[in-house]
Amino acid sequence: MVIRNIMVQHKSRIVVILLTMVCLILGAGGAALAKGPMDQLQVSVDEIVEILQSDELKGTEQKEKRKQLVLNVVVDMFDFREMARSSLGPSWNELTAEEQDKFVGLFTSLIEERYIGKIDSYNNQKIIYKKERVKGSMAIIYTAIVDKELEIPIDYKLKEEQGKWLIHDLKIENVSLIANYRRDFDGILRKEQFAGLVKKIEEQLENSKQQSQ
Residues that bind other proteins (CB under 8 A): 86, 89-90, 110, 113-114, 117-118, 121, 128, 130, 133, 135, 138-140, 148-149, 155, 157, 171, 173-176, 178-185, 187-188, 197, 200-201, 204, 207-208, 211
C-beta of 23: minimal distance to other proteins in Å? 24
Smaller CB separation from other proteins, 39 or 184: 184
How far, CA to CA in Å, does 107 sit from each of 84, 183, 199, 205? 6, 14, 12, 10
Smaller CB separation from other proteins, 12 or 20: 12
Smaller CB separation from other proteins, 30 or 117: 117
Smaller CB separation from other proteins, 27 or 117: 117
C-beta of 151: minimal distance to other proteins in Å? 8
C-beta of 176: minimal distance to other proteins in Å? 6
Round to whole Å and give the CA distance between 150 and 194: 40
C-beta of 128: minimal distance to other proteins in Å? 8
200 CB-contact burial (10 Å; exposed 0-12 / middle 13-18 / buried 19+): middle
Smaller CB separation from other proteins, 79 or 155: 155
Compute the radius of gyration of the chain from its Cα atoms: 22
C-beta of 125: minimal distance to other proteins in Å? 12
> What single letter denotes the amino acid at residue 196?
G
